[in-house]
Amino acid sequence: MQLIDRGTEPSPDVVLMDAHKAFQIIKGGGVAVLPFNVSYAIFGHTARAVARIYELKKRPPTKPNGVVGNWNIFSEVMVTTERDRELVWCITQDHDLPLSVVAPFRREHEWLQTAEYGALRRSTKGDTMDLLLNAGAL
């Protein structure tokens, strides 16, 4: 595991390099720890990687993992009322704040079909998913 403490806000080029490196690790079935504006997140895309996150965090299997997305993912995947959509837009787009939304979701959406079943199963609870929006450059 490699940790990078930059101490300052990284340049866009450094963010892009970090994102690319993290993507390659995750794509290869690994786990990546990335900084967010609000905290940090541990990412994995395969069932084994998500299981490893649970092991590392000593997280109980009954507690779902959050999922990171953007406005487009929220709009297409989450099932909300128009009023809820406007509220999420106001917080994340008008005011550029992070927000975690727990709502029903469209299981059949193609974006979710890229995740292995075990990874998706640990990131949902019943009909709902926790989607974090707008948490930082990465």
Rounded to two decimals, what is the model's pTM?
0.77
Domain ranges of the chain: 12-133
Q: What is the pLDDT along the chain (138 residues), one digit of tens a residue?
A: 444 555 566 677 887 888 889 889 988 999 988 877 777 888 888 889 988 988 988 989 888 888 888 999 999 999 999 999 999 999 999 999 999 999 999 999 998 887 777 788 888 899 999 999 987 766
Query: What gap in Å lies between CA 76 and CA 95, rounded to an integer?
Result: 21
Helix (H, G, I), strand (E, B) or coil at 67: strand
Which pLDDT belongs to residue 5? Answer: 53
Query: What gap in Å lies between CA 65 and CA 43, rounded to an integer?
Result: 10
Sequence-ordered list of residues with C-beta below 8 angstroms from that of 73, at least 6 positions apart, any chain: 111, 131
Which pLDDT belongs to residue 74? Answer: 96
Which pLDDT belongs to residue 8? Answer: 63
Which pLDDT belongs to residue 80? Answer: 97
Which pLDDT belongs to residue 92? Answer: 94
DSSP structure class, residue 11: P
Q: Which CATH class is domain 12-133?
A: alpha beta
- 12-19: long-range contacts at Cβ-Cβ below 8 A with a sequence spacing of 24 or more? 12/137, 15/137, 15/138, 18/138, 19/138
Query: What gap in Å lies between CA 31 and CA 42, rounded to an integer?
Result: 7
Nearest to 34 by CA among 55, 19, 48: 19
